[in-house]
Chains A and B, each alone.
Chain A
Amino acid sequence: MSTDPTATPLLDIAGLSVELLGRSGSRRILDTIDLSVQPTDILAIVGESGSGKSVTVSAVLGLLPANIMRVSAGSMRFDAEDLLHSRDTRRRVLRKDIAFITQNSLTSLNPVHTIGSQLLDMIAFRNGVGRRQALVDAGEWLVKVGIADVERVLSSYPHNLSGGMRQRVVIAMAISSRPRLLIADEPTTALDTITQLQVLNLLRDINTEFGTAIIVITHDFGVVSYLSKRVAVMHRGRIVEEGPTRRVLEAPKEAYSRSLIAAVPQLDLIS
């Protein structure tokens, strides 16, 4: 599904630079990043440790640790509204329009509350509905993410569920406010290969059915290939290469992207 490049991007990052403040001066850990995500786009940000992919996400979510990091240049806009400098916009956008899921579903969930109560609280808070309505919605969202035994899951605690199930619950919590953008940070790294496929398919379905744009942060080119429409390769705080996924993977222009892709051992099924 191609998107009109001249339309207003959903998320527009231009010239973003972030500095790490230290005793002996500051160091740039993000260097003039340009990224734009269109509605219904699926963008993968791929890089190794230290590439800056996590910092980029933190910057978008307003989670940069203020005492040691700061945005030194650039702009960030969500649907043309300033995300960087306007605290009100940020609060409003982050409550409803942008959702975030992480790698470790166990730590994103409160271990002493049931799934049901957490999902309820999330829905009631983000959508502003009463608890009775929230309960109904909770059940529906669990079904939407492919959970069949809704009753059991609602009354379970996080540690009662498998990793894949937990990740689905976390996704349900994230999309319950029908966000326009979902940011997923290594969503399948902790899952085994079969569950990984299921979760990636779920993300794909969310994109097609609800039109949610997705940014997926990963180090795994297999995930990039399977899920994303566009990919940005990061290295040492800069975007080295960016473009449609198929093009970048089949014919990478930059030496770094080439060597990174080549370093992944591929399956050889021809005997």
Chain B
Amino acid sequence: MAVEVPLIDVRDLRRTFEIGRGLFRRVRRSVAAVDDVAFSSGDGETVGLIGGSGSGKSTIARILTGLERADSGSIMFDGVNLSGLADRDRLAYRRHIQLVPQDTSASLNPRRRIGVQIAEPMLSLGIVSSRKDAEWETLRLLERVGLRGEDARLFPHAFSGGQRQRINIARTLGVKARFVILDEPTSALDVSIQAQILDLLREIKHEFGLTYLFIGHNLGVIQSFCERILVMNEGRLVDSFASNELGRAGRDEATRRLVEGVLPIHRQL
């Protein structure tokens, strides 16, 4: 079996936050938001990351996208060590790692038309060479995610939450991302819309050759969407298994607690 170089390889990741109180308190408490986390994801995989609030999963998303820096550890993307790069060089890789956020309107500028917000990064990252190409590509992507080309001239507030999420997805496709971090992408959406968005994500994954890291708190959604599941608890990665092994013995305490917390719709007999 040929050993493939994983697309994303994270080792010994640490990020600590200092918490101190009062003006004169010298003693500061430090909290390890991310404590010695290591995982890897192959090209084309869908990995789920689950944990309660405060488990560190959002921090990992921010470190992977470059919005925050880890205190120590390494992130290898396609064989290149990202943490060693200067900010300027990271830009070249930045577009390959993108994020679809939980708050669907948070990442959209409320005062700019959505067509411009999709097209502009393509130009500034050099993915297309002319404004005309960018416009064409934008229209194509809008249609692909289930919106209409003419919606490009509208502002974000004209769209529903699910539609805004489609816009966010179109943007990550536009910059030809390869590794997409889905940070609770459907938590704020209605159940029926959630199903539609997850379907869309599944379709485009194969079509555009994407690798997903799906961060969430709903075990049912994660199990049905992901091939592999990572469980975080208080900053540490405590469990890692294939989705269909969720019910097997040998699961970590934290995983079992998460399973117990799920309220089934149908009573188990």
Complex Cα gap A224–B191 (Å): 14
Residues of A contacting B257 in the complex (Cβ-Cβ under 8 angstroms): 194
Please choose the segment from A91-99, A121-129, A147-155, A255-263 that sits at the chain B interface, where 4 or more of its residues have CB less than 8 A away.
A255-263
Kindly state whether residue A269 has any CB partner on chain B within 8 Å.
yes
B217 and A193 within 8 A (CB): yes
B221 at interface by CB-CB < 8 Å: yes
A220 neighbours in B (Cβ, 8 Å)? 263
Among B52, B244, B261, B265, the residue within 8 A (CB) of A268 is: B244
Interface residues on B, range: 20 to 34
The answer to whether A194 and B248 touch (CB under 8 A), given A226-B263, A263-B192, is no
Tell me, in angstroms, the Cα distance from A223 to B263 when the chains sit together.
7
Q: Say whether chain A's binding surface is mostly helix, strand, loop, or mixed.
A: helix
> What is the bound-complex CA distance between A177 and B112, given in angstroms?
51
In angstroms, Cα B190 to Cα A193, docked, is 19
Tell me the nearest residue of chain A to B249, going by C-beta.
Answer: A271
Question: Range of interface residues on chain A?
Answer: 20 to 34
Contacts of A196 in B (CB 8 A): 261, 263
Q: Are A259 and B192 in contact (CB under 8 A)?
A: yes
> Chain B's nearest CB lies how many Å from the CB of A221?
5
Closest A residue, CB atoms, query B268:
A269
Extra 12 A-B pairs, beta carbons < 8 Å, given A192-B261, A225-B264: A192-B217, A193-B52, A193-B261, A197-B261, A263-B194, A265-B220, A265-B221, A266-B265, A267-B220, A268-B246, A270-B247, A271-B244
Q: Which residues of B contact A (CB under 8 A)?
A: 52-53, 190-195, 217-221, 223-225, 244-248, 257-267
Question: Interface residues, chain A, CB within 8 Å of chain B?
Answer: 48-49, 192-194, 196-197, 200, 219-226, 246, 249-250, 259-261, 263-271
